[in-house]
Structure 1
């Protein structure tokens, strides 16, 4: 049986104010093409289809079209909810959709109820575990002790194993949305820490043939059979180095897995560029269509850098000023000998702090004249 593992679509997320809906839909349609080309039997979506609990109508339409395309390409689809999703909303019409090959599992009460998929070698039991919010899980399952991710996952997997024990010769797959010890965060995930501990040990999944994880946005293997697919798009400039992908998992008759990492298209690449404004504007032709994060090293803070950059690089999104050499120390200090005094000194220091250079003689004269006029007005008023 050939499985395609994906997660963390975060449909509806914006990137520094830019809508990503078109990019997200393009990637989801590529997943459908991959299903058709590779004759994928089962698509596993391990949570966070949406970026927020109440997605916009446009986001819902993108997800709907994506799932319809994947299902239409011939694969059965199993989906579980993540910490960004509303389990109740995502799980609506579950039974009705299952009849059409789309299995949504978002309820804690069904963690031990597998989706059974048949191939030539017999059944595969797929257990979709929704995101287990520790306090909700503790109350739902009457767990003792303080709420924790580990306790919730231990209890859920105990139920899975109890069900598996009654199924002879069944291969097993688990979907889980969690931070598993040994994995590395990508930087754009929302923390799920409870009491300072947000991770669960990988040992909790021992004995399962394949574990499809969601939550972390970088593709990685905690173990050969315990994997994160990562998000299909980069959602922070810290992820600009990542090559986004999905996992194609061949599940053999005896439960052994062979994993292939299949790269995904990049609708618009991300890049971080550093240098002076002049250097950046006069070079980097290859970055004109990238989303850009710019670090300016000019000695003096440039005027209107965003406007100038976007004339050449229209997808510049963030700018930071980090001069290599600052003419005036940025830390507050007492005025040096000959410096203006009183209000004049404060204004001059403010200019130095903002742009990294002292006021010119003409600017000092303008400051002095403006303050003198203010004082005369106060005296005559």
Structure 2
């Protein structure tokens, strides 16, 4: 059978105030084009369809239309919730999804609800463990789906996840292609740059040993960089289909195509996806920035000029697609630079502000004058 594995769409992402809706529509369109060409039997979306737990109506339209388009290619489609998604809200879409032939598992439910079976167009049977993101807060509650011993109740987060997978894997067959999709962090994996760190560290990482050797392929979501993980079975992150934040501008965006049978190991191909609007970091003085050809990329700019009022606006006049403008860190004073913090007692707000600017390497008379004017307006309004 053939599987298309994608994850971490993050529809609804706003980058420094800029909507990414057009980029997401283009990225999902790229996924649909790959599905039409490759004709997979199963499409897995391994979590984080949305960037926020309260998506807008436009974001919901983009996601549901994208899933419908993937389903129309003839493949079965299975979707799980990620840490950015509202699992219960995703599950509320299940009546629509069921009618459309799309399987959604937004949050942990009954055990039998997370082992999904299917048959390919050529009659090959497959079984899939569909494990949405599981927070530490609900790990014990999820494990209570099964009868636990006293020792099991004291397990770590990784222990709970491993236990869930092991018990669900008991439903695997010797004559089926056995698959798993989950939204989690595996120890040893490389973060892509835009993940939510609290759900990637602090006890959330699990060892690759939680995946049983009976698995033919584990399709993971959560980390935005495509990568394979060494383990007892083929384990892979598909990565995001577009760069989500500036920390991901160097990531290869792609989709994973997996060919596997019950008797052969999974063979994975990475298919690059086009990026509608790239992300790019540039550095230089105003004179140097004025000579750059940055195309249609969204920009993070490290300007190599002394801090002053109006500098951001000058940069954006030169580079209208600069979403983030910062002073190059090399020009900022290092730790301990500047005079010691002055006593606050008896000093005006303007004096304190000017002193703060000096300590931060941002001394500029125009900025101080503007502060005085705004402060006077607030105090006398």
Tell me the TM-score range normalised by the shorter chain.
Answer: 0.7 to 0.9
2:161 paired with 1:163: no
2:37 paired with 1:28: no
Does the C-alpha gap of structure 1 residues 84 and 352 become closer, same or farther in structure 2, counting only changes over 3 Å?
Answer: closer
Task: Identify the residue that residue 83 of structure 1 maps to in structure 2.
Answer: 83
Task: Identify the residue that residue 159 of structure 2 maps to in structure 1.
Answer: 151
Q: How many residue pairs are counted as aligned between the two chains? A: 353
Q: What are the residue-to-residue correspondences of 1:273-292 with 2, within 5 Å?
A: 273-281=282-290, 283-285=291-293, 287-292=294-299
Write out per-residue CA displacement over residues 218-240 of structure 1, whole angstroms, 9 at most, x where no aligned residue.
11111371000111121221111
State the 1:135 CA deviation. 2.8
2:251 paired with 1:250: no
2:212 paired with 1:206: yes
2:203 paired with 1:197: yes
Does the CA contact (< 8 Å) of 1:111 and 1:156 recur in 2?
A: no
Give structure 2 stretches of 5+ with no counterpart: 373-381
State the 1:94 CA deviation. 2.8
Write out per-residue CA displacement over residues 172-225 of structure 1, whole angstroms, 9 at most, x where no aligned residue.
110010001110112211134499311001111132100000011111111371
Does the CA contact (< 8 Å) of 1:274 and 1:296 recur in 2?
A: yes
Does the CA contact (< 8 Å) of 1:111 and 1:160 recur in 2?
A: no
State the 1:353 CA deviation. 4.2
Does the C-alpha gap of structure 1 residues 72 and 121 become closer, same or farther in structure 2, counting only changes over 3 Å?
Answer: closer
Does the CA contact (< 8 Å) of 2:307 and 2:362 recur in 1?
A: yes
Which residue of the other structure, out of 261, 278, 281, is the alignment partner of 1:269? 278
Does the C-alpha gap of structure 1 residues 290 and 92 become closer, same or farther in structure 2, counting only changes over 3 Å?
Answer: same
Distance 2:318 2:364 in 1: 30
Does the CA contact (< 8 Å) of 2:283 and 2:328 recur in 1?
A: no
Does the C-alpha gap of structure 1 residues 357 and 38 become closer, same or farther in structure 2, counting only changes over 3 Å?
Answer: same
Task: Identify the residue that residue 363 of structure 1 maps to in structure 2.
Answer: none
Write out per-residue CA displacement over residues 257-298 of structure 1, whole angstroms, 9 at most, x where no aligned residue.
1111111111111111112222212x211x142111111222
Q: Which has the higher mean CA deviation after the structures are superposed, 312-321 or 172-181?
A: 312-321
2:10 paired with 1:15: no
Q: Please list every run of at least 4 consecutive aligned residues from structure 1 whose deviation after the TM superposition is greater than 6 angstroms.
A: 326-329, 342-348
Distance 1:327 1:87 in 2: 46
Distance 1:39 1:182 in 2: 32
Q: What are the residue-to-residue correspondences of 1:169-184 with 2, within 5 Å?
A: 169-184=175-190
Which residue of the other structure, out of 117, 121, 124, is the alignment partner of 1:122? 124
Q: Which has the higher mean CA deviation after the structures are superposed, 86-95 or 313-322?
A: 86-95
Does the C-alpha gap of structure 1 residues 273 and 177 become closer, same or farther in structure 2, counting only changes over 3 Å?
Answer: same
Aligned with 1:261: secondary structure?
strand
2:326 paired with 1:320: yes
Aligned with 1:203: secondary structure?
helix
Does the C-alpha gap of structure 1 residues 93 and 266 become closer, same or farther in structure 2, counting only changes over 3 Å?
Answer: closer
State the 1:127 CA deviation. 1.6
Give structure 1 stretches of 5+ with no counterpart: 336-341, 360-365, 371-381
Distance 1:83 1:160 in 2: 21
Task: Identify the residue that residue 239 of structure 1 maps to in structure 2.
Answer: 248
Does the CA contact (< 8 Å) of 1:111 and 1:129 recur in 2?
A: no
TM-score by length of 1: 0.83
Aligned with 1:108: secondary structure?
coil
RMSD across aligned C-alpha pairs, in angstroms? Answer: 3.2
Does the CA contact (< 8 Å) of 1:271 and 1:291 recur in 2?
A: yes
Distance 1:49 1:326 in 2: 39
Which residue of the other structure, out of 132, 135, 143, is the alignment partner of 1:133? 135
Does the C-alpha gap of structure 1 residues 237 and 118 become closer, same or farther in structure 2, counting only changes over 3 Å?
Answer: same
Which residue of the other structure, out of 230, 240, 244, is the alignment partner of 2:239? 230
Distance 1:215 1:317 in 2: 25
